[in-house]
Amino acid sequence: MGNLIIIDRSGQEHSLPATEGLSVMEAIRDNGLDELLALCGGCCSCATCHVYVEPGYEHRFGSMTDDENDLLDSSDHRKATSRLSCQLVMDGEAGSIRLAIAPED
């Protein structure tokens, strides 16, 4: 099982367990952090689960799809490290992954 270090919008860090095969969005939701709306429930159709993957951790996830890229283009807060947390599936590697929740659009 991996571990997520999530930085919320106020800058507070949260350490959360993350099970292999689950998305980062599911891990955040299941552990009670309410900052991600995730309105579509993980269907990659809303971009309300926008996060920033800290540099050095991007290799832990698959490549961005065209749909994810298009949705992130609609955000005023997109950065080079932007991803949708519903599309980031935990790989089962041990160790922590650091992410920050993006500002709400």
* Average pLDDT value for the chain: 94
CA distance 20 to 36: 20
Each residue's pLDDT tens digit, 76-91: 999 999 999 999 999 8
Q: Domains along the chain?
A: 2-101 (3.10.20.30)
pLDDT of residue 1: 72
Q: Work out the number of other CB atoms within 10 angstroms of the CB of residue 64.
A: 15
pLDDT of residue 49: 96
pTM over 0.85, yes/no: yes
- Nearest CA to 62 out of 100, 23, 95 is that of 23
